[in-house]
A = this chain, B = another copy of it.
């Protein structure tokens, strides 16, 4: 019975893709293929568990080779967005894996994932600040001082201070002596931005925390482990509060 419903749903989907899948211009990238598919999925209201058209059909409609379609679908598969099955074809995956963030498809689902992403970033930032205040070299101190000055100047000039903020935190992670912190946080932050920038435009998230940054820099330079931990925690808490305010939810 469930099969019957699924089957008819599939048929409508497959029959009506002509409306939404048009030939791509030449030189189109794998990303374009995914965008076209996203569009088709949305236009047809396909949901989790539904089948996509066969690869060969997609290729024909888009006017590209099957290899290109496969490459694109493989990307989604690796992100956990679709599962492929010999006879059953390619279906939208039962669950969106969290490190798979392809915007057109997942935007609606990802609001609270901003908080989740931040929740992971939080302890890493705090720990990196603690280690930085412990392991910093003279050179690190000079860089941190320069970066925080740069940040405050940018902030007070009313410019877009986020690149400077990014560099400042990068300097702290650098000073921690463990490159993994920088790597991980950078990736997490990139994922965050990918979710965030699109739906809400140009944000000023974290603006209230900027005045705290000189204090953070001082604590690290002074080697004050507890102070660095405390200030960074406060910064992270304030960022979290702002996220909640923006997306208007309360639960993690």
User: A179–B98 contact, CB under 8 A?
Assistant: yes
Which B residue's beta carbon lies closest to that of A71? B74
Q: Is A111 an interface residue (CB 8 A)?
A: yes
User: B100–A187 contact, CB under 8 A?
Assistant: yes
Q: How many copies does the complex hold?
A: 2
Please choose the segment from A118-126, A219-227, A237-245 that sits at the chain B interface, where 4 or more of its residues have CB less than 8 A away. Answer: A118-126
Q: Is A106 an interface residue (CB 8 A)?
A: yes
Which B residue's beta carbon lies closest to that of A251? B177
24 contacts between A and B (CB under 8 A): A67-B67, A71-B71, A79-B99, A96-B183, A96-B187, A97-B190, A98-B179, A98-B180, A98-B186, A99-B183, A99-B187, A101-B184, A101-B191, A106-B183, A107-B180, A110-B179, A110-B183, A111-B179, A111-B180, A119-B127, A122-B127, A123-B123, A123-B126, A178-B252
User: B127–A190 contact, CB under 8 A?
Assistant: no
User: B123–A127 contact, CB under 8 A?
Assistant: yes
Q: Is A181 an interface residue (CB 8 A)?
A: yes
Q: How far is the CB of A126 from chain B (nearest CB, A)?
A: 7
Q: How far is the CB of A162 from chain B (nearest CB, A)?
A: 15
Q: Is A10 an interface residue (CB 8 A)?
A: no
| Residues of A181-226 contacting chain B, CB below 8 A | 181, 183-184, 186-188, 190-191, 193-194
Residues of B within 8 A of A154 (CB): none
Q: Is A36 an interface residue (CB 8 A)?
A: no
Nearest 5 CB-CB pairings of A with B = A98-B190, A123-B127, A123-B123, A120-B180, A99-B101
Q: Is A75 an interface residue (CB 8 A)?
A: yes
User: A120–B116 contact, CB under 8 A?
Assistant: no
Interface contacts beyond A116-B179, A120-B184: sample of 13 additional A-B pairs, CB < 8 Å, sorted by A: A67-B67, A74-B75, A96-B186, A97-B187, A99-B190, A99-B191, A110-B179, A119-B127, A119-B181, A123-B123, A123-B126, A178-B252, A184-B184
Given A99-B101, A135-B252, the answer on whether A180 and B116 have CB atoms closer than 8 Å is yes
